[in-house]
Amino acid sequence: MKPICKACGTQFPESAALPVSCPICCDTRQFVSKFGQEWTTLEQLRRGHRNSFRQYEPNLIGIGTVPEFAIGQRALFLRTPHGNFLWDCITLIDDATVELIAGLGGLRGIAISHPHYYSAMLEWSAAFDNAPIFLHAADREWVMRIGNAIQFWEEAQHELAPGVILIHCGGHFAGGTVLHWAAAAEGRGGLLSGDILQIGPDGMVSFMFSYPNLIPLPARAVKRIAQAIAPFTYERIYGAWWERVVESDGQAIVEKSVTRYLEAIQ
């Protein structure tokens, strides 16, 4: 079996015995449930869960699991003239999901913002001809299951395709990454931010070292994130959950949010 942590959704290597613990959940950015470490498998998950889909705009579809599993994020399926990409990842992959994505042209690659969303990335890759998985090298230590499909990159930016660029921001994790999609919002641009930039209920964004444990980022880390994305134009921001979307004025909102955050922690 390949155990899956119920708290964060990360799949571990094939093993006859369950792991003693999940290093990702033992880290201060996550947590172990008060009931202790719990495990499942992809086969068990498929029996009680399914994936749902939502079109946000032309060429961008959200994919999320119901009932909600682990952290509860949804992935984004991005279609481009140069091939399709999965941004961030969810644990559940089933026959229906594979058939739907294959019908839309399959996957050229998978890119993930940070280790909390590594989930079952190798299962997703294997379902689409071992599509490459692009992870920032600074987060190499958090990969629980190694595979040949994983490609570590180290630059400040990494182009997946024309108009689709990964940006190294750091912050929440050392390798924290966002994706800039130039064609979003009818060509006005968009950021796919995971929770490196976390969209709040008021439509502003914020930044944390640990979200569940309420540990903030220092000013220098937030300034670094702002500097990393400053060269890019974007109107829209897609966070990691279904309704966490900034529809317009994204660039101005980030600038105001950075100022608000720095004033608050100072």
- Containing structural domain, residue 97: 4-265
CA angle 41, 45, 47 (to 5 degrees): 125
Rounded Cα distance, 164 and 115, in Å:
21
Over residues 69-89, the pLDDT tens digits come to 999 999 999 999 999 999 999
Q: Nearest to residue 85, comparing CAs of 148, 56, 128? A: 128
Number of domains in the chain: 1
pLDDT for res 218: 97
What pLDDT score was predicted for residue 168?
98
pLDDT confidence of residue 35 = 87
User: What integer pLDDT is reported at residue 172 of this predicted model?
Assistant: 96
**Tell me, what CATH number does 84's domain have?**
3.60.15.10
Asked if 240 and 195 touch (Cβ cutoff 8 Å), the reply is: yes
Chunked in runs of 10, what are the mean pLDDT values of the chain (266 residues)? 97 94 97 92 98 98 98 98 98 98 98 98 98 98 97 98 98 98 98 97 97 97 98 98 97 98 95
Alpha-carbon distance 230 to 226, whole Å?
6
CA proximity to 52, closest of 80, 94, 14? 94
pLDDT at 48: 97
Sign of CA pseudo-dihedral 174, 115, 246, 76: positive
User: Dihedral sign, CA of 183, 207, 69, 152?
Assistant: positive
Angle at 185 between CA 173 and CA 161, to 5 degrees: 60
Q: Residue 55: is it exposed, middle or buried by C-beta count within 10 angstroms (0-12/13-18/19+)?
A: exposed
Locate the DSSP E strands across 42-89.
Answer: 50-57, 60-66, 75-80, 83-87
* Global pTM value: 0.97
List, for residues 44-61, the tens digit of each pLDDT value.
999 999 999 999 999 999
